[in-house]
Amino acid sequence: MANSGQEHEIHYNLVEDDEFDIVNIVVEGTDGIHSAGAAPSASVGVGIKSPITSQPRIPGHPLSQKWLHEELGKYPAKTHVQKVVEELDAPKSGLIYLRGFDEPLYPYSDQGPPFRQQRHFFYLSGADFPGCAVTYDIPRQELILWIRRNDPRLSLWYGTTPSIDESKSKSDVSDVRYIDGLTAYLHAVLTPENGGGGGPLYVLSPDQLPKLSPSPPQYSFFKGMHGSASRGLKIDTTSLLPAIEAARVIKTPHEISRIRRAVSLTSLAHRMVLQRIKHLTNEREAHAVFEGFCISQGAPHQSYAVIAASGPNASTLHYDANDEPLEGRQTMLLDAGCEWGCYASDVTRTFPLNGKWTKEGEEIYKVVERMQRECIDAIRPGRLYYKLHLVACLIAVEELMKLGILYNGTRSEILARGTVAAFFPHGLGHHVGLEVHDVSGRERLLLTGSTVSSSGVNSQRVPGFQEPRRRMKREQVTPEDLAAMYREAMMDRDDVEQNVVGPPPPYKGRQRLRENMVVTIEPGIYFHRPYIQSFFLSNPDHAKYINTKVLDKYWDIGGVRIEDCILVTKDGYENLTTAPKGKEALKIINAGIPGFGGDGQAGGGSS
C-alpha cells in the first residue's frame, strides 16, 4: 500500500554561513530550493560550534515556523462532547461534570512537577491550565468551562491564567464562567424543583464528584452527593469513562493537525541528533540535542521520557538513565517525541554511532526494517491489528531462522510455541493522541492472555509485571500471549486480508483499524541477556529452538527498534513520520554538520 503522499518530498541540509556565523536550513523539494536563517551559533556537547536551535522559516512549508505556529482555529470541544454523548447511548437528560487538575506539589515540599492537564478534561474543554471544571447540559447542549478568578497576589508570583475572553477565543465552548458560581449552577440544573432535569450526573469515578465547599444551607441538596444518590438524583460513576475513551479513539481533523505538528517537529529533532552523533560522547548529549531543539521550536514538553540508549542499554525497553559514555558502543536507540498543543508523538530510530553498521548490526536492522515495512504496507480500515502483530512475528521468525539464531523447528512450530517473544517481547504498537499510549476505547489493539478466548489456564505473565509501572509505553507480549494469539488466528476465519469497514466488534481484543485512528508501528528485536536467559534458555520448551553459539555474536547490539506514527486513511494510510531511517540516516550521520566536517573525529562508536 503506497503512502497517500499528501505532502511534497522534502530533503534538508544544514549549511554553515561563515560570514554571518549562522546555520541555514536548505530545503530541496519539488518546488525548488529554499533556505532560512537560524539562530546564532552556540556551544553544544563537546567541541561543537553549530547550534541546536536552527529554525526553519520557509513560508508555507510543513516544517516552517509559519506552518508550525499557525492558528488552527478554536479547539473543537463541542464536537468532542457530542461524540461522548453518542457513546453514552444517547441519553435525553443529565449533566456531564469533569474537574481539571490543580498544581501538584511533591510530599513535604513546596515544589512540584510541571503542570500537566487531565487529558479527559482537556478533550472536553481545551483548557490547559489549573483550577478549572467543565459541565455539559445534555438536553440544552450547553458546554460551560468554569475557571478561577485571577488573584493579583498570585499573579505577582506566578502570572495570570487565561481570562474569560481569552478562554472563549481558544475553545468553542458555549460559555466561560467563574468557578465560584458552579455550586449554584449545579443546584439549578440538577434539581427538578428548580426546573432542572434531575440527572443523572455523569462523572468519571466516585472520587470525581463535585467538591462543593463551602456549601451554603440552601444547597444542602449536595451534602449527600459523596455517598449514594441524594433526593432522587441519579449519579452515574461508570458510564462516562468508557464513553470518553471510545470517543477519543477516532481523531478529529483538529486533533490530527496537532499530532501532525508534533510528529513533524519530532522528526526534525531526530535529524538534528543524527547530524551531531559523531561528535557526541555520552547518551545525555543526544538527549540534550533532541530536547533542546524541541524547546527552541516551541515544544517544551516531551510525550514521555527520552530514551537515548547505546549498546546493550538498547535492550532495556524503557531505559531512560541516558548517562553512559558512547565510546566502544556500536549503536544507539533513540526513542523520543515531543508534544504539540497537548498532543503526543512517538518516534524511534536505531543507528550505528560511527555511521557504519557491523555485520551483525546490519543483519538485525534489516530484520526490523522488513517487519515494519510490511506491517505498514498492510494498514487499511478493517484490519485486525493483532494480526499485523502476528505478521511481524512471522517475519521475525523467518529472518532469525535465516541468521541461525532460531533453529530446530518450522516457522509455524516456533511461532505457535511463542519463542520469538524472547526477541520481540512487546506489542507492535498503540494509539497516539492526547497520551503517547492513548486510550483504545472498548476494544484492544492486541490480544493478550487476559483477553484471548483460547488462552485458557496456560496464559501466564512474568511475575510482578502487572504491578503499576512509571511509564508503561508498551504492552508486554509473553510467549504464552503470543501462542494464544496464534491459536486465535488459526481459529479465526475472518481473514486478515478482508477489508471490513465499520465499527469493531463490541468486545475487547479484536479492534479493527478505522479511518482517522493514529497508531504506531514499532517492531523491534532485542537481546536482553537476563530476560532471555531466565525465561527462555532455562526453559527446555524454548531453549531447543535457540542456537546459543550464534546468539553470542549479537548480545552487544542490545536492541533495534524502528517506530513511526501512522494515520489510517479512507483507503490506506499516511505515514506522518519523516525522521530519516535506513540508508538515508547513514548518509546524514556520515555527512555530519555541513561545514564542520562529517568525517571528523567521532566521540563514540566503534570502528
Instruction: State mean pLDDT over 301-316.
Output: 98
For residue 564, give the nearest of 519, 524, 526 by alpha carbon.
519
Task: Identify the burial level of 257 via C-beta atoms within 10 angstroms of its C-beta, where 0-12 means exposed, 13-18 middle and 19 or more buried.
Answer: middle
138 near 92, Cβ under 8 Å?
yes
d(CA 246, CA 240): 10
Dump pLDDT digits (tens) for 561-600. Answer: 999 999 999 999 999 999 999 999 999 999 987 655 444 4
Per-residue confidence (pLDDT) for residue 193, from 0 to 100: 62
For residue 25, give the nearest of 67, 69, 68, 64 by alpha carbon.
64
Domain count of the chain?
2
Average pLDDT of the chain to the nearest whole number: 82
- Judge whether 335 lies within some domain: no
Residue type, 276: R
- 543 pLDDT band, cuts 50/70/90, is very high
Angle subtended by helix axes 359-377 and 385-403, to nearest 10: 150
d(CA 566, CA 558): 26
- Judge whether 537 lies within some domain: yes
Q: Is 180 helix (H, G, I), strand (E, B) or coil?
A: helix
d(CA 157, CA 150): 12
- Judge whether 333 lies within some domain: no
**With helix as H, strand as E and coil as C, how does 550-584 read?**
HHCCCHHHCEEECEEEEEECCCCEEECCCCCCHHH
Half-sphere exposure of 192 (CA within 13 A, CB side): 9
573: β partners = 568
Q: What is the CATH number of the domain that holds 387?
A: 3.90.230.10
- Judge whether 215 lies within some domain: yes
- 196 pLDDT band, cuts 50/70/90, is low
Domain span at residue 425? 382-465+472-559
Q: Which of 247, 280, 314 is the last residue of a domain?
A: 247
Q: Which residue has the higher pLDDT, 30 or 62?
A: 62
381 phi/psi in degrees, rounded to 5: -55, 140
Q: Which of 216, 247, 278 is the last residue of a domain?
A: 247
d(CA 477, CA 421): 7
Indicate the helix (H) or strand (E) that contains 231: none
Dump pLDDT digits (tens) for 523-536. Answer: 999 999 999 999 99
134 phi/psi in degrees, rounded to 5: -140, 140
Dump pLDDT digits (tens) for 317-357. Answer: 999 999 999 999 999 999 999 999 999 999 999 999 999 99
- Judge whether 372 lies within some domain: no
Per-residue confidence (pLDDT) for residue 379, from 0 to 100: 98
Q: What is the CATH number of the domain that holds 149?
A: 3.40.350.10
Per-residue confidence (pLDDT) for residue 495, from 0 to 100: 45
Percent of the chain with pLDDT over 70: 75
Cis upstream peptide for 580 (omega within 30°): no
173 near 67, Cβ under 8 Å?
no
Is the pLDDT at 111 greater than 70? The verdict is yes
Highest mean pLDDT among 105-114, 139-148, 465-474: 139-148
Q: Which of 201, 222, 247 is the last residue of a domain?
A: 247
For residue 140, give the nearest of 98, 190, 83 by alpha carbon.
190
16: β partners = 23
- Judge whether 600 lies within some domain: no
Instruction: Look up the pTM and report it.
Output: 0.83
Q: Which residue has the higher pLDDT, 493 or 181?
A: 181
Highest mean pLDDT among 55-59, 367-371, 505-509: 367-371
Percent of the chain with pLDDT over 90: 64
Per-residue confidence (pLDDT) for residue 195, from 0 to 100: 56
277 near 286, Cβ under 8 Å?
yes
Residue type, 30: T
- 96 pLDDT band, cuts 50/70/90, is very high
Q: In what order do the strands lie in the sheet with 11-17?
A: 11-17, 22-29, 32-36
- Judge whether 539 lies within some domain: yes
Residues 6+ apart with CB under 8 A from 437: 430, 431, 472, 473, 474
- Judge whether 40 lies within some domain: no
d(CA 446, CA 442): 12
